Structure formats: structure tokens, C-alpha cells
Structure 1
Amino acid sequence: MSLPQKFKAWEGLYKRWAEDPEGFWREFVERTSHLIYWAKKPEKIFEWQPPEPFKWFVGGYTNAGYSAVDYKTGLLGDKVAYIYLNPEAGAERKVTYGELAALVYKFSAAMRATGVKKGDTILVYMPNSIEAVAAILAAARIGAVSTTVFAGFSPKAVADRIELVEPKIVFTQDHSLRRGRKIPLKANIDEALKISAWRPSLVVVKKTEEGGDVPMERGRDMWLEEFLEMGKGHSAHPEFVESNEPLFVLPTSGTTAKPKPVVHVHGGYQVWIVYGALLVYGLSANDLIFNTSDIGWIVGQSYIVFAPLIMGATSILFDGAIDYPKPDLFWEVVEKYKPTLIWTSPTAARLLMRYGTNLARRHDLSSVTRVVTAGEVLNPEVWRWLYEDVFRRRVPVIDHWWQTELAGPTIGYYYALVSGMPHGLEHMEIKPGSAGVPLPGVEVEVVDERGNPAPPGHKGTLVIKRPHPGMTPTLWRDHQRYLNDYWGRYEGKMVYYTGDAAHMDEDGYIWFAGRADEVIKIAGHRIGTIEVESALVSHPAVAEAAVVGVPDPLRGEAIAAFVVLRPGWQPTEGLKKDLIEHVRKTFGPIAVFAGVEFVNMLPKTRSGKIMRRVLKRMWTGEPLGDLSTIEDEASIEEVKEAVSKMKFIKTAES
């Protein structure tokens, strides 16, 4: 890849990797040996004989749980690892590296006492909590494989995941709180285990006063205290595993089809999340991280559980909604605990933007040195609000791109560079709306529908031309599905199809337009959903928007838009017309609308991604498909009603 002057800070890394990929990664393993522990150094960096799974750092023995816990305790024992916050419950708990290690050792011994061994699986159905983190880390330390399920999924969705991974133990808690509602997690698991034929043991964490009133099934269920007591006298020693052995299985969030059980492995996963932490986030042991994600998603696994501990940083472990019980709760947390790095989603940023700038400016935000978002494209208007209005051009606001399948940053902006290489706290030119450029070690192409390279500025599908260390090598117990769903041929070689529509500009920046199957085709023009949504959000009345392409007999497709208004704006027919004209002026006259409707909420996955396929299927009357990952079922009913009201809107070119 030829890089213009503005990328010179990464040029040495690109060149070194391009000239000797294996030497590049071998050197990185050596340079990060104080962060990632290797009981035995890798014998070979990369091995791949398609269609077999590729392997990274072959012959190396390590353990992600050991790197995160044991390897840090001697040096950082008294340092705070986590500040647990649950504002609804009024809970705050600080846990040091030493205290976390002691708890993880107890979990490790208790797992062994209950028969969990290397290669066995456990499942965690809990919100963000110290106990959930300890279970994940303990499983890793003894060579077991964890699956974390977002603590809000329905019993049927949980049952599906239990049958998928067949865990020996399921960890849950009695209840959780969400926006004033009590979520009966133990009852959900009870119902899931009635649906599933699999029979695991069940460990329950008591979080509420009435926890003891929760029904417990004799011979199957036990309280956490009973479970930990069983571990007394059993070994808590770590199990070092070959680099390519599984660390955890994480189903995708389900914006497209039925979730896929993504596998991440000990060696490549550790290397990639540390690499991204250094290059994109500038993460160090001096950081206090406020990451609003959940441990049920890849962001939570990588940048709440594993990477911050491996880096020796402190994290706020936040359990709750960022705007409940008060709309400025997020900013209040920033002022009180003084994080240096905010890691959040575009969805959360749009929510905060709805409440206005004044709410943010009432609080001292001076501790923050950078803001990072991912999950969906950060609309330019929202980026400008964070960068200019909230942080007054003082700190970089960094969008970037990756997937559950990719473990960590893959397209991004540099913030700080690897120690020992060109370095310094600097950041590259940010183009609002673009996810940045491929990280050194990542080779991409944008290809058209025929599989040919798309010229700069032309939309296509982003492909990754060779595996990077963080890329999932397979799906759990279904490698053929992995090959079928992700891999194709390009220039005679196998390449990874991301499924995301994008274009590359003349400078090498990548601009994402949504999922490839969500691109709207109007009279031969390919329009990205993100482009139209960003145009809508740039109107002062709009807080959020989702658009899909719907059948149109003349043009092939037209745009159906669903809009959430900011406070103070009223839904009117006049405003609909204003929004359409605004988009046509901002984006272009090729934006032909089938309809615009106002809603109070959009159907999203529990990780905050808009479920556009659901919107489209509502319009066409097709079955809605898998809804196990939806955040709020009420949004489905609301949008159904909105669809019933829509009618084709005549425009100048209609």
C-alpha cells in the first residue's frame, strides 16, 4: 500500500510488515513479552493449508488468563484493576489486581473441583460484574472455553446457546436491574434449561436482598459461596496451552442472520488486542478506561476483560444504562472517576447528543485524553458534536472498524505507536465519517459485485486479503459453515469477505456504508444506508435515523426512512418533506424516498446495532427471522405500526 505524507508515522511499520510478515510478528511477540506471557516461544509464526484452519504462533504455549492475572499480580498487586459501578443499585466496589487474582484462583480451583478440565466449556449469563469477569478469566487459566451471553437475552436465545456449546457450568445471578425494572436472570436460566436437553450445573450469584428466595433445584443449583467452598484443597494452577487452542466462543450479534459461534484462540487473540491497544488507543498502565460496552460482546471481551488487564490499566466496570436514573449520569461518572480513555458506541453518542451539549458542559471532563467509538459508523454530525461542542477540539475522537470475528481494531487511526518503534502521543488526520486506514499487518481491497477491484470512490464489499492474528480461524464445531459464509476467491487466492459495503478514497481512507446486503440500489446508483442516515442526522431535528431500500417498480429500490426526533421537535408532514429535501441537498437528488415515518425507538441488537434487515422485512412482509438479539421488543411493534402508515412520497424526480 502506498501511503501519502499524512501516514508517514505508520510507513515504517507497513514497510517492515510487507517485506517480512513473519519477522514483523516475531519481533512484536518479543517486544511485548512483558505484557503477554509465553511459557514457550512460538516455533513458527504462520501456517495455513486451505481449507484447513490457519494457525498463528504455532508451537507457542501461553494462556490469556495467566497474562491478564498471574503475570501482573506481583508487580501490580495493590493497584486497582476494576471500579465496579451499578448506579441503579447504588453499588460501587474497587478491586485490586491482587484481590482479583485471589478470586480468580478460587474460581479456578472450584471449576476443577466440579469436573471442568481443559477443553470443556462454561457459559456466563450475567451483566458486567467482578464475578463474571472472574469466571471468564478462571476458565481461560485452566484451559476451559467460555461463552458469555448478554444478560438480557430471552430464555429461548439462552437455550440455543447452551445447546450450541454444551457447558458443564452456567454462571448467572438472581436478578439484575435495568432502567428501574428487575430482570429475573435465574428464572430465565430455569426456563432455558426446561427448553434445552443439555443439563449443566448452575452457579448463582446473589446480588439482591431477596436473592435467597430464588428457587434452587437440588443437585443442580448452588450459590456462588457453595461453589467456591468446593474448590478448597483443589489446584488452581494455570494450564498453558498451544497458541491455537480455543479461548472463548462468542456468537455474533445477529444484525444479518442467525448468530454464528465465533472462536478466538489464546495466542493470536492476545497479540492482536495488544497490538490494537498500542496503535489505535495508545493504551498504557497509566490509563483509567471507561468502556460502556458489555462483556457479552467482543468489545467487552477484548477491552474490558482481557486487554486492559494485560496492559496493567484500570477499568470502570459499568453495569447499567448511561442515562438512567439521570440523563447526565454518563458525564457525572466521567467527572467523578476521571477516566483518561472513553470507549463507547455511536449509538450511545447519539443518545447523549439528544440530551444536548449543556448537560455535558456542566461537568469537568478534563481528565479525558481521547474518545474511541466503534460498532457502527460514527455519523459526521455526531463526531463534530463530540469533538467540537463537548470536548472543544481538545482531544481526538477516533472512530474505527472491526468485527466480532476480528478480535480488535482492523481499520483505524493511529494514536500512539508501539514502544521501540516510531512513537509519541500523536494522532493522524481524522476524516469525519471514515473509519481510517488499514492497520499495518492488514491488507484489504474493495471489490465490486463481480469480484473486481473497485476504483477509489466506488462502493463495493471490503475483503481482507490475508488473515491477521486476531481473525477467527473457524466457527465452533462447524468449519464448513465458516468457509461457506466468510471465504471466497479473489485473484486466485482465498480472501475473507467482511460482508460490509465500503469505498476507499484517493488517500487510502475506508468509508463504510453499511452491510453489503443493505446497500440501496436506486436506478443503478449504489447508496449506502450510512450515507443517507448521516444526512438525516445532520438535520437539527433528528436524533437517530435508520434507512433501508424497499422495492420500487421504476427504480428497483427506493428509501424507507425511520426517524427519531430530538426533544422539542414535533412529527409533522411538513417536517417529513423538509427532511427529504435536506437529504437531497446534502447527499444528492438520487435519494428517492418511498416513505418517512417518525418513531420513538429503532429496533437494535443489544450491542446497539440497528437491525435494518428487520425494517426491510417489515416493509416486504417477509418473516422477521432471528430476533434473539433485539434490545427492546416494543420497538418492533412501533415500527410495524409506522410501516403501516407509510405511503410513497412524491418528489421532483418521482
Structure 2
Amino acid sequence: MSNYHIKNLEEYYQVYRRSVRDPELFWEEIAEEHFVWRKTWRKVLEYDFSVPEVKWFEGAELNITENCIDRHLVTRGDKTAILFEPNNPNESPLEISYRDLYRRVNKFANVLKENGIEKGDRVCIYLPMIPDLAISLLACARIGAVHSVVFAGFSASALATRINDCEAKMVITSDGAYRGAKKIDLKGIVNEALESCSLVKTVLVSKRIDSKPNMIKGRDKWLSPLLDVASEECEPEVMKAEDPLFVLYTSGSTGNPKGMLHTVAGYMVYTAYTFKNAFNYKESDVYWCTADIGWITGHSYIVYGPLANGATTVMFEGVPSYPDFGRFWEIIEKHKVTQFYTAPTAIRALAKENLDYVKKHDLSSIKVLGTVGEPINEEAWHWYNDNVGKKKNPIIDTWWQTETGGMMISPIPYVTPTKPTYATLPLPGIQLALMDNKGNEIFGNQVDGRLCVKFPWPSMARSIWGNHQRYKETYFSQFKGMYFTGDGALRDEVGYYRITGRVDDVIIVSGHNLGTAPIEDAINEHPAVAESAIVGFPHDIKGNALYGYVILKEVGEGRDHDNLRKEINQIITEHIGPIAKLDRIQFTQGLPKTRSGKIMRRILRKIAHNELDDLGDVSTLLNPEVVQTIIEKRIKNELVN
């Protein structure tokens, strides 16, 4: 029996029991057997959640790029490591072998060094989904620089905030980006951001859209000429296990982003292990995660996890709707993709379109489907299962966070029986607890509570960059000796977990605690509804009442809105009970979302409360323009009361 690759349900339970009975031995065996170390550890784990401080593989030395690239050269040198699919389907894909990746990363690493970057320096990366993005991460890791990727869609002010917070010395960007039919002026955004970033000394610019950006003399340099003359050899920097690998910013509840700090060894071991199991990865597979590397999903499951396993990982530059809504399915057919990992928000958007976009493509290569970013609602799950998976491919509904570094709860394909809307069981090494409001653990099944983790795992974030006190207060202060995820969850009769939403999305109505996720799932069952979001607003009698924002499918656009409101509340009554009926329903064309697809409920709550002058910075949203549209409808009071 192998701890590293679980093959059946009985084995899962055996491995899981061993992983929680003796976690240190469990992770030590995996680390010893499957990775390359320059020096082994003197202690597997040292931690104190009251500080909080966590150290895995203390005393060990390694370089993560040796594990992601160098060790594959003998047996997988000619194998495709990165398969780049451009935005324009008429542009040829690019296949980068492990040997070619080794050369490219070394050249890039040497360019960084020649431009003053040393071990421990922070480098901000603001690139589209082109090969240079993955290569720049690895080049930083090669020399021990700390990378901080900012999604290349954030505004200049959002970019500047992140550059200044991590005190980056260098920015890596491109002249621009293709996004569907649009060209985005990335270099112009960087120029604007750097007006308020005094520490940045160098900007390296990759050429992608062949524009003529404003290059600042003495600071800005084209990347290609530097790479052309750089050496193909770069000795990897020897890193300590707990040295920083990257800082990645995630939205804070106050609107101030949090720079989550991840370290080298534990992150490597955990992301590699979870990739292998959660996707049932085999040597000849072609794996595709549609996320952007600007998010933790891209870090862990496009770059580090797949490459540590010697996988072929697809990078897609474009969007699912360009040149039409069949693009995802066309790429799966073209490259014979075996594992496909995407977000429920993308699935819902594609499910609104004509089914012919899916039907005309051969999807028979798929073995595993996955979802990430938020719990998937039942209607979207069935659409995905029926039309993409053809009812034969397991769907892994994965739950995890930027803070966790890797997946925490997920089915293992062909091992764990799946259940719509349930993330199912914790992965080995993850010790979950459901807690009540008084800080007591809730035992048994058919219960719900606040989701916590009561023992460290290797890939957990070690701190918030520059603000350890905020890290402690956010994640370790509410429940003594535990990491609090901020999410609520229920555990069903067999021990499966379902994420019910952020705890701050639980609304108390007439003394009843109502989670928003089950209500939204019920609303989304209505044949005219594409998506919904629920928030609370003050009510004189109930304390709080429920306010629903609802996006209609095309079939619902011409319907009488008053009747639709009645039908939606009837469905809620049938699924949950009359206590969960919505007092106000606003139909909208869209919902404010982060670039990773998460609904910004903080903004929706403000609008529902009619606090329209205090929305904070909306420029970092995927669709900032939708906020004004929602406000205008709110002012017109196009609601039911």
C-alpha cells in the first residue's frame, strides 16, 4: 500500500487513520520517498497555534525547482511540461519540454541575478497567462527570490498597493495582453502604478502584443534581448525548509488585501501529494486547470503541484467565450485533456449557452472533472456531470483556500463516491472540527457548525506578510488551538462535508441562523434562474431580512418579474421553509465578482443596506461596471417589499 497514491476506499480510510494517528511519521515517509533534498530535517514538525508558529521539516535544505524540473530530466526530458494554448485559436500552441523548461528557467534566473535580484528579494509579477508567467515564478524560486504574482487585470492602484506592501524591488510585466477580442495595455497600468512605488528599480517587459509602450529610461528593459545572451546554466540556490517561497494577496474582509506567506518545503510536499491523489494523475495524462496563475489555484495546481509530479500541465491564455462558447470543449478535444479543473461560475455561465457548443466536441479523453473556488450548486453539478462528464467521470468538488495552500476536502476519483454539492471527505493529514458558537467541538454526524482545522498541515500559510498579529487575530483567535477557516459546514450521515458558506454569510432572521448557500442552491433550481446571491439587511421586526440578487437566464428575461418573485419564494419554501423566504428580490444582469469568480457580498450588503457612499475600491473586480447598474436599480426600487 502506498501513502502517496491511494487506489481504493478501504486504502483511503487506512491511510487517513494513519495520517491522523501519527501525522509526523506520515508526512516524513512521503517527504523521504518522493522528493529530492540537499539536507534532511532534524525535526518533522514544531508548532504552537497560540503564537501562531508552524515549522515543517526544520533543518532541511532543498530547492523546489530541482524537484519540479531537474530531477525529471533523465527520464522525462523530452516530455511536455507546459502546453501553452494561446488566446487566438489560429495561433499555434507551444509545447515546452522539461529540458526546454530547464533552459528557459535558468536563463530567466540569470537575468534576475544580473539585474540585482538576490535571495530574499521580492519580485512582483504582473503578466498574462503566457509561458513567461510560469517561467518567472520558477526563476524566482531557482535563486531564492520571493515571488508575488498580481493578477493581470487588477487596476494600477491595486497593483501599487501590493507592490508597496511586499516592498518589491522589481516588476515583471508585458507590453500588453490578449483577453478575448480585446488588447489590454498592461505596461501602461504598470507605469501608472509605479508612480507611487519608490522601491522598484527595474521593470522587465515581455513582448506579447507587439505594441510600443512607454519605456522609462534606466528602469525598463525588454526581456527578450536579455534572455538571448543569458547562460543556460544556473545553480539552484540552497533554501531552508521554512524560507519564504511566495507572497500571494487575497481579499480581506475590510477591503485591505492580505499577503499570505507560503514557505518552500511543506508547500512543495503537500501540493505534489494532493495533485497526485485528487486528480488520480497517471504518467501519460494531459492535465488542465483553467485558473489564472495570479490565484493560489494556479500556483498550486498549474505550476508547482503538476511539475513536481512530472506532469503535462496546460496553460490557457484566453477566456471561455472566445471566439465562441465552445472554446473550453474545443481545447479538451484538441489536446486530449484527461483532467479538467474549473470554477462553478464558469460552468454556470457555459450552461446558459446552447448545448450544441458542448455536443459538437469529442470529450471522451476526460477521466476526471473538478471544481474550485466556491461550492458548486446542484443544478450546475448535474449539467457538468451529464453534458461534460457524460455521467461516467467523477467530479471532485474541492474545498480549500489561499491560506491553506492546497486542497483540504475533496473526493479522490474512482475512490470516494461523490455526492452533488458535497466536498465529501478530508484528504489525508487534514484533521477537521465543527465548532459551535461557544467554542465547543460538535461530534457525530448530521450536524453543522464552524469549520476549523485542529492540527497543522504542511502547506498552510505561515503568516500575513508584515502583519503577523493580523494573521493571529484572523485565523487563530476565535477557537483556541485551532485554525478557523471562516466557513460554515455541515457533516452528513456518513461524514461527508458540505461547505455552507462564509460564517459572516450566516444571517439571523427572527432568531433562526440561515446560511446563504442552501437558499441560493434552491433559487438556482428555478428554470429561469442562472445565478443568485443572498445577503441580509436590517428589518424592524425580524432583526434581519433576506435580500436576493438574481440573474435570469434568457428564458426568464421576458417573464413577469412579480410572478417570478412569487415562484422563487415558493421554491425556497419547499426546499428550506417559509422562514427563508426573501423579503426583497432584485433582478440584475450580473454580480460583482473577484477575478477568481467569488461574489463580493460585502458590496452587495452595502447596497442592500442602502450604504451607497461606502463601497470601497471596486476597481479590482472582474466587472466593476455592474456595481453601478445594481445601485441604479436599487435607487429606482425595482424590488418587491
TM range (shorter): over 0.9
2:136 is matched with: 135
Encode CA deviations 1:418-472: one digit per residue, 9 max, x unaligned. Answer: xxxxxxxx23121211111212211111112221234644443211111111111
- Once the two structures are overlaid, the 10-residue window that deviates more, 238-247 or 251-260, is 251-260
Q: Give how far 1:160 is off.
A: 0.5
Encode CA deviations 1:180-238: one digit per residue, 9 max, x unaligned. Answer: 222110000000001223333001111123x2x21111100000123325645x96110
After TM superposition, the structure 1 = structure 2 runs for residues 267-416 of structure 1, keeping only pairs within 5 Å, are: 267-415=265-413
1:221 is matched with: 220
Matching residue's letter, 1:168:
K
Q: Give how far 1:401 is off.
A: 0.3
User: Does the 8 A contact of 2:595 with 2:621 survive in 1?
Assistant: yes
Q: Give how far 1:511 is off.
A: 1.4
User: Does the 8 A contact of 2:9 with 2:415 survive in 1?
Assistant: no
1:515 is matched with: 502
Task: Find the residue that maps to 1:494 and give its secondary structure.
Answer: coil
User: Does the 8 A contact of 1:253 with 1:629 survive in 2?
Assistant: no
1:436 is matched with: 424
Distance 1:606 1:374 in 2: 13
- Once the two structures are overlaid, the 10-residue window that deviates more, 481-490 or 527-536, is 481-490
Classify 1:457/1:648 alpha carbon distance in 2 versus 1 (closer, same or farther; 3 Å): farther
Encode CA deviations 1:83-103: one digit per residue, 9 max, x unaligned. Answer: 212233743222111111111
Distance 2:117 2:497 in 1: 44
2:191 is matched with: 190
1:108 is matched with: 109
- Once the two structures are overlaid, the 10-residue window that deviates more, 195-204 or 368-377, is 195-204
Distance 2:603 2:185 in 1: 27
1:44 is matched with: 43
Aligned residues: 627
User: Does the 8 A contact of 1:595 with 1:647 survive in 2?
Assistant: no
Encode CA deviations 1:283-307: one digit per residue, 9 max, x unaligned. Answer: 2332211211000000000111111
Distance 1:496 1:647 in 2: 42
- Once the two structures are overlaid, the 10-residue window that deviates more, 373-382 or 434-443, is 434-443
Q: Give how far 1:489 is off.
A: 5.9
User: Does the 8 A contact of 1:594 with 1:647 survive in 2?
Assistant: no
Distance 1:227 1:160 in 2: 28
Q: Give how far 1:30 is off.
A: 2.3
Classify 1:478/1:235 alpha carbon distance in 2 versus 1 (closer, same or farther; 3 Å): farther
Q: Give how far 1:637 is off.
A: 1.0
After TM superposition, the structure 1 = structure 2 runs for residues 542-621 of structure 1, keeping only pairs within 5 Å, are: 542-570=529-557, 571=559, 572-621=561-610
User: Does the 8 A contact of 1:254 with 1:605 survive in 2?
Assistant: no
User: Does the 8 A contact of 1:112 with 1:235 survive in 2?
Assistant: no
2:246 is matched with: 248
Distance 2:82 2:228 in 1: 24
Q: Give how far 1:645 is off.
A: 4.0
2:57 is matched with: 57
Matching residue's letter, 2:186:
L
TM-score, L = length of structure 1: 0.92
Distance 1:111 1:626 in 2: 33
Q: Give how far 1:80 is off.
A: 1.2
Distance 2:264 2:150 in 1: 20
Verify: 1:16 aligned to 2:18, yes or no.
yes
Task: Find the residue that maps to 2:441 and give its secondary structure.
Answer: coil
User: Does the 8 A contact of 2:107 with 2:233 survive in 1?
Assistant: no
User: Does the 8 A contact of 1:110 with 1:228 survive in 2?
Assistant: yes
User: Does the 8 A contact of 2:352 with 2:530 survive in 1?
Assistant: yes
Distance 1:8 1:152 in 2: 45
Encode CA deviations 1:538-594: one digit per residue, 9 max, x unaligned. Answer: 111111111111211211222211111112322522112211212221222221212
Q: Give how far 1:179 is off.
A: 3.2
Verify: 1:630 aligned to 2:630, yes or no.
no
Unmatched 5+ stretches in structure 1 = 1-5, 416-425
1:73 is matched with: 73
Task: Find the residue that maps to 1:336 and give its secondary structure.
Answer: helix
TM-score, L = length of structure 2: 0.94
1:422 is matched with: none
Task: Tell me how large the CA RMSD over aligned residues is.
Answer: 1.9
Distance 1:408 1:245 in 2: 18
Encode CA deviations 1:498-517: one digit per residue, 9 max, x unaligned. Answer: 11122222321111111111
Matching residue's letter, 1:404:
T
Q: Give how far 1:281 is off.
A: 1.6
Distance 1:120 1:592 in 2: 53
User: Does the 8 A contact of 1:112 with 1:231 survive in 2?
Assistant: no
User: Does the 8 A contact of 2:45 with 2:57 survive in 1?
Assistant: yes
1:261 is matched with: 259
Matching residue's letter, 1:81:
A
Encode CA deviations 1:379-411: one digit per residue, 9 max, x unaligned. Answer: 011111111243221100110200001111101
Q: Give how far 1:647 is off.
A: 6.6
Verify: 1:500 aligned to 2:487, yes or no.
yes
After TM superposition, the structure 1 = structure 2 runs for residues 192-207 of structure 1, keeping only pairs within 5 Å, are: 192-207=193-208
Distance 1:473 1:179 in 2: 37
Distance 2:464 2:620 in 1: 19
2:5 is matched with: none
Matching residue's letter, 2:341:
W
Task: Find the residue that maps to 1:189 and give its secondary structure.
Answer: helix
After TM superposition, the structure 1 = structure 2 runs for residues 140-179 of structure 1, keeping only pairs within 5 Å, are: 140-179=141-180
User: Does the 8 A contact of 2:125 with 2:173 survive in 1?
Assistant: yes
Report the identity percentage.
37
- Once the two structures are overlaid, the 10-residue window that deviates more, 312-321 or 570-579, is 570-579
Task: Find the residue that maps to 1:406 and give its secondary structure.
Answer: coil
Distance 1:236 1:614 in 2: 47
Q: Give how far 1:646 is off.
A: 4.2
User: Does the 8 A contact of 2:536 with 2:608 survive in 1?
Assistant: no
User: Does the 8 A contact of 2:532 with 2:549 survive in 1?
Assistant: yes
User: Does the 8 A contact of 1:150 with 1:296 survive in 2?
Assistant: yes
User: Does the 8 A contact of 1:357 with 1:390 survive in 2?
Assistant: no
Distance 1:376 1:328 in 2: 23
Show structure 1 runs of 4+ deviating over 6 A. Answer: none
Distance 1:358 1:582 in 2: 29
Distance 1:639 1:78 in 2: 52
User: Does the 8 A contact of 1:171 with 1:202 survive in 2?
Assistant: yes
Q: Give how far 1:135 is off.
A: 0.8
Q: Give how far 1:24 is off.
A: 1.1
Distance 2:253 2:318 in 1: 23
Matching residue's letter, 1:438:
P
Task: Find the residue that maps to 2:352 and give its secondary structure.
Answer: helix
Matching residue's letter, 1:536:
I
Task: Find the residue that maps to 1:463 and give its secondary structure.
Answer: strand
Distance 1:522 1:88 in 2: 50
User: Does the 8 A contact of 2:536 with 2:546 survive in 1?
Assistant: yes
User: Does the 8 A contact of 1:203 with 1:227 survive in 2?
Assistant: no
Q: In the alignment, which of 29, 32, 41 is matched to residue 30 of structure 1? A: 32
User: Does the 8 A contact of 1:255 with 1:612 survive in 2?
Assistant: no
- Once the two structures are overlaid, the 10-residue window that deviates more, 377-386 or 278-287, is 278-287
Verify: 1:470 aligned to 2:462, yes or no.
no
Task: Find the residue that maps to 1:51 and give its secondary structure.
Answer: coil
